[in-house]
Each structure stands twice: as structure tokens, then as C-alpha cells.
Structure 1
Amino acid sequence: MTSVQTCLWFDGHIDEAAEFYVSLLPGSKILNRTQYEPGSGPPDGPDMTGQALTVDLELAGVPYTLLNGGPQFPLSEAVSIVVTVDGQAEVDRLWEAIVGNGGRESQCGWCSDRFGLSWQIVPQQLNDLLAGPHAEAVMREMMQQIKLDVARLEAAAR
């Protein structure tokens, strides 16, 4: 059987990150945890015996592995988790959970959490509007926003 999942490289705190991530989205859960064996750790790094090596989880049914691999490959906006939600209330809830807990805002619905992972919080309404006849105006409005505002996007489409 073939399966696919995304592995995200962290420099510590993967247990904390996993607990935070599964708290964000309904239908999410931690599946498995492995730890470093005695005397092991990342190359040229400290002994990490007993610390988490990997945490496997599902976010809204999508599988991910968090890898505690050390500082060699930091997270960046080159990889993000896109969460499509229905309505402004859910955009606001997730945005506050991520940014309000040590994360930072970016632009066009992008933010990053306190661990450095980038997220895109996208209302389904944006996708619908971008498929409509006023997509160009909606896109211009979206490019002006930080957290996406459904009412402003819908106004741009009128």
C-alpha cells in the first residue's frame, strides 16, 4: 500500500506543537510518538535521549509527521498548511489561536505560529469569489489584507 504525508522539520518542542495543532481543528488527533534512543540525537547535536524524535498526527484527517531534527533546516513560508474554513467567525477563531498565542501576522491570510510553521487561513467564500466574474477585483482586495475579511472580499465582488 502506498501512502503520502508531509514531514515538518522542527528544532525541538514537537510534543507541544503537536498538542497545539490538534487543538486547532476538529477531527484532529495525535497518532504516534517516537523518541530518541539513549546516546542519540541530530548529527553534531546534543544527546537527546528520551526527547521526542517524531510525532505522527492528523489535522482534520490529513497526516503529518513532526520531526525533531535540530536547527539545520528551519521552517519557512516556503511550506504552509492551508486551512479552508466557512465564514468569518472561523477565520477569526483560527487567526486568534495562532497569532494570539505567540505567532505573527503576514499578508493575504498568511500567518505563522510560535513554532515557525506558516498557515494560510482561507474562507471558502474567497475561493468562490475568485471563481466568479469579479475575480480580479477580489484578488486586488485580498492583496491589501492581512487577516482575510469576508465582508470586504464580498464588497469587492459587487
Structure 2
Amino acid sequence: MKPFGIGICLWFDSEAEDAAKFYTSIFKDGRIGTIARFGKEGFEHHGKPEGSVMTVDFTANGQKFVAINGGPIFKFNESISLMVYCDTQAQIDEYWEKLMAGGGKPQQCGWLKDKFGLSWQVVPTIMDEMQKDGTPEQVKRVMAEMYKMVKFDIETLKRAYKG
């Protein structure tokens, strides 16, 4: 029996293919799979031209996604974000720069919105270790520094942890 899986579906107005190309260019092993197109059927519901892109299956860093051109009804908001865990400052810098490309907007505490409005968190893996293994005072210092940051700086977090 095939195990149950969970996938991620991202709703776009009409940018599904552009978004899939953007995300697959950023993450390792990124690839686009099946592109399904709208037919004449259901036009009264979707209003999309026959032959235009309906869905794009893609994989980024081993995670499977479906991007759908569902129209302008729904917009991304901060209640859902995708997290990119990074071991080094170079990784944080790289993913931050790539996800910000083309009109992204930085936000506090490692969050950003990409050019499509999707929220991301680019976070150092060491944060989990510090919060799990640190004393209450160490965690307090790290959190105080974290709240001052937009893009995370691992060395500043380490200094705060050490006191």
C-alpha cells in the first residue's frame, strides 16, 4: 500500500508557470514536471482561455508542489509561510538574495515576501539548537537579538548566546 502523503498547492492568479520556474531555479534539484492546460470544459467556472496553463507540478529541494492559476480570488498572506533551514550564513545570504529577486520585500525576524507575495522564513538551523539547549538567560539574549534582525546574522546570534 502506498503511504499517505501531504503536498503543497500554491494558488496564483495567472503566474503559476513563472512562479514554478522561479522556485525551481533557486533550490537544488528543482524541476518542473507536468503542465496541465485549461480546455473548453468549465470555462463558465474558470474563465481562462483554452490552452492557458492551469497547473504546474514542480519539485524544489525534494519537496513537491502544485502551482495553480485559479484567478484573483485568493491572495497569499503571512498566515502561511515556507521555511528554508540554513546551516551557514552563506546559505542564508544566498537564499535571501534569490527569494528577494525581482521585487521581494524583507520583513522582520528572517521573514520575506517574494515577488509573488508568498511568505518565506530563511532561518539558521542553529536557532533550534540554541532554544533547545540554552539556559533561560541564553534563550532570552538570543531572542532579543532575533527581534532586532530582518535577515538573520548567525554570528550575532552566537555572540548573544555566549553572552
Change (3 A) 1:42 1:131: farther
Asked whether 1:142 is paired with 2:146, we answer: yes
The alignment's TM-score, normalised by the length of structure 2, stands at 0.89
Equivalent of residue 4 in structure 1, options 3, 6, 17: 6
Aligned to 2:94: 93
Task: Encode CA deviations 1:26-53: one digit per residue, 9 max, x unaligned.
Answer: 122212111111365583x643222211
Aligned to 2:36: 34
Distance 2:30 2:15 in 1: 19
**Rg larger for:** 2
Aligned to 2:117: 116
Distance 2:22 2:43 in 1: 24
Aligned length: 157
Change (3 A) 1:41 1:76: farther
SS at match of 2:133: coil
The list of structure 1 runs, each at least 4 consecutive aligned residues, that deviate by more than 2 angstroms after superposition, is 38-43, 45-48
**Identity in percent:** 34
SS at match of 1:84: strand
Change (3 A) 1:136 1:41: farther
SS at match of 1:119: strand
Change (3 A) 1:41 1:142: farther
Query: Contact 1:109/1:145 (CA < 8 Å) preserved in 2?
Result: yes
Aligned to 1:59: 60
How far residue 74 of structure 1 moved from its aligned partner, in angstroms, is 0.7
Change (3 A) 1:42 1:82: farther
